[in-house]
Amino acid sequence: MNNNKIVNVFLFRAAPYENFGEYLCKKILDEMNVKCKHYSQANPPPNNIGHIMTGIGGFLNNNIYSSFFGDRINKWYVWGSGVECQPILGQTELPDKVLKEKCVISMLRGPMTKDYYNIKDDILLADPGYLASYFFKFPKEEKKSIFIQFYYDKIPTVIPDVDVHLTTLLKPKQGTFDLDFFEILKNISNASIVLTGSMHVAITAHSYGVPWAIVAKEHVDASKEWKWQDTTACMGLDKEDLKICTGPEDGLIWYNNVKDKFKPVTKEYQEKIIGAFPC
């Protein structure tokens, strides 16, 4: 890792707010002492930028490449990205020339993304979000059930019998998004069960070894989303294991039924993720 190099990072941003998953990636890069320039769909990279890096998110697809990267970049460093939520054959896949000549892939989100591009190399399968527990520690508190709503859901959801309701949409407070961000992390790390429609909330809970379960998003059965199946396959689950849960009790029943399949997030695994940083 070259700490003197400025790394151009592309992340989605829910302007004027932040989404928890992308902000988690930023905070992890800060902890790794990586100097970054951040770009997004709202703030695209300029021409002749040289390189771009994508970490979390479903960015490894032709829609993103043709819309935001194209001839602007010479190298695309991939550190945990995956194919978008629901790939569309003939539209999503990157051209072979781009994949072979521009992409430097050190880590992919999951095995479905690896298979999608027929990548034979021994690539680490992981998400930078698994580093949450490596960098961010919290004092032990009373265990509570947590619901963290997906940022795209516009109608506030109340789940009965849940102790704490939060959202992944971070708002600026005192000139920073840190207050909302660390409130989410602290609650996840001390939760008895985390219910969510956010993939990166689930990844964070898995990092801390905390039980979690998927709840319904607006208009979408998240358990059938390609990105969820890709991510949870990386954790050790089969797509048939996934289901929508309705509350803390239902969520814990589901989690306890599948928990023996989960691959634990060990310190060795986390250090492999850090070691796979491509820039």
State the pLDDT at residue 2.
52
Strands 103-108 and 35-39: unpaired
State the pLDDT at residue 3.
59
Lowest mean pLDDT among 150-159, 207-216, 254-263: 150-159
Q: What is the mean pLDDT of residues 42-54?
A: 94
Residue 154 forms part of a structural domain: yes
Alpha carbon separation from 182 to 38, 64, 78, 93, 257 (Å, rounded) = 21, 30, 26, 36, 30
Q: pLDDT per residue over 156-195, tens digit each?
A: 888 989 999 999 999 999 999 999 999 999 999 999 999 9
State the pLDDT at residue 158.
87
Q: Which domain holds residue 73?
A: 6-128+268-275
Q: Do 82 and 117 belong to one domain?
A: yes
Q: Do 183 and 220 belong to one domain?
A: yes
Q: Do 140 and 230 belong to one domain?
A: yes
State the pLDDT at residue 248.
97
Q: Do 252 and 236 belong to one domain?
A: yes
- Most confident segment among 2-6, 144-148, 224-228: 144-148
Residue 132 CA from chain centroid, whole number: 11
Residue 144 forms part of a structural domain: yes
Q: Which residues contact 48 (CB under 8 A, 6 or more apart)?
A: 72
Q: Do 99 and 67 belong to one domain?
A: yes
Q: Do 85 and 164 belong to one domain?
A: no
Q: Identify the bridge partners of residue 6 per DSSP, sorted by sequence position.
A: 35
Q: Do 236 and 223 belong to one domain?
A: yes
The conformation of residue 152, written as its DSSP 8-state character, comes to: T
Q: Do 166 and 197 belong to one domain?
A: yes
- pLDDT mean across residues, the chain: 94
Residue 1 forms part of a structural domain: no
Q: Do 144 and 83 belong to one domain?
A: no
Using CA atoms, how far apart are residues 99 and 277, in angstroms rounded to an integer? 18
Unique residue bearing structure tokens 């993720």: 273
Residue 109 forms part of a structural domain: yes
Number of domains in the chain: 2
Q: Do 182 and 256 belong to one domain?
A: yes
Q: Do 21 and 102 belong to one domain?
A: yes
Q: pLDDT per residue over 102-152, tens digit each?
A: 999 999 999 999 999 999 989 999 999 999 999 999 999 999 999 999 988
Residue 152 forms part of a structural domain: yes
Question: What is the percentage of the chain residues whose pLDDT exceeds 90?
Answer: 85
State the pLDDT at residue 254.
98
State the pLDDT at residue 216.
87
